[in-house]
Amino acid sequence: MASRGVVASYRIEKTDLPIPVEEGEPARKVGDPVLVCKLVAAGVTEKVARRLVATCPGETIEIQLAALPFRSKVKEPGAMRVEAIRESWTMPKAYTDAVSKAAREAQAHARRDVAHRNRQAEEVARQERHQKVDHYFAGLTAEDQQRLEQEASKQIRGEGSVWKVRDIPRAVLNATMRSLVAERLGLAPDLGGGSS
């Protein structure tokens, strides 16, 4: 008999030896030793735990063990757990609420992960686009750059433009030139708000 403060530990090996049974009962094989240990840790005797594991679906045992913290306190918790497993009791509302909440949180986390990966992919694509446009600009002659600037200026001063009578700011002209180059290269428009 264990003295106060000492925790009994159980080491159960998976074996094909039959479970000790009462006279007249058919012999059963030992089931999952991890489930047996979990049941023993939850207050079920080892003998009963072995029988439960041998006769009840492992999923039922796992679900009922997961629901334990959500069940109301009783005088004989080990016996209540055995009955819950044998009879596949319905889950307490607090347990189903907690499972639903965890599922919602997992879905929200997955959505955030997807959005983050999408933003990263968009940033990589934007950087690649900028590099291609920069490379194109680096290969232009002074004459080609002047023609491109004239084309950009013409586009900016198009119909309904406020720049018809005012000087075009250099930043607007450069952004339009980069947009024209990206179009020539067949690149998707830069919708990220950065200067292309």
Are residues 123 and 76 part of one domain? no
- Amino acid letter, residue 40: V
CA 57-63-67 angle, 5° bins: 145
Whether 67 is covered by a domain: the verdict is yes
According to DSSP, the residues that pair with 29 across neighbouring strands are: 18
Q: Is the pTM of this model over 0.85?
A: no
pLDDT at 8: 37
- pLDDT tens for the chain, 196 residues: list them: 444 443 333 343 443 333 444 445 444 445 688 999 999 988 899 999 999 999 999 899 998 888 888 887 777 878 888 888 898 888 889 989 998 999 999 999 999 999 999 999 999 989 999 999 999 989 999 999 999 988 988 888 876 666 666 788 888 888 989 989 998 888 877 655 444 4
Are residues 177 and 111 part of one domain? yes
Whole-number Å distance between alpha carbons of 164 and 177? 17
Number of domains in the chain: 2
Whether 193 is covered by a domain: the verdict is no
pLDDT at 73: 74
pLDDT at 114: 96
Whether 3 is covered by a domain: the verdict is no
Are residues 133 and 73 part of one domain? no
79 burial (CB, 10 Å; 0-12 / 13-18 / 19+) is: middle
pLDDT at 30: 52
Are residues 110 and 158 part of one domain? yes
Are residues 174 and 121 part of one domain? yes
- Picking from 90, 122, 137, the residue at the C-terminal end of a domain is 90
**8-state DSSP, 188:** P
Asked if 99 and 116 touch (Cβ cutoff 8 Å), the reply is no
- Picking from 33, 67, 90, the residue at the C-terminal end of a domain is 90
- Picking from 61, 90, 119, the residue at the C-terminal end of a domain is 90
Q: What is the DSSP string of 2-71?
A: PPTTPPP--------SBPP--TTSPP-B---HHHHHHHHHTT--HHHHHHHHHHS-HHHHHHHHHHGGGS
For 123, the domain range is 93-184
Are residues 50 and 127 part of one domain? no
Asked if 134 and 177 touch (Cβ cutoff 8 Å), the reply is no
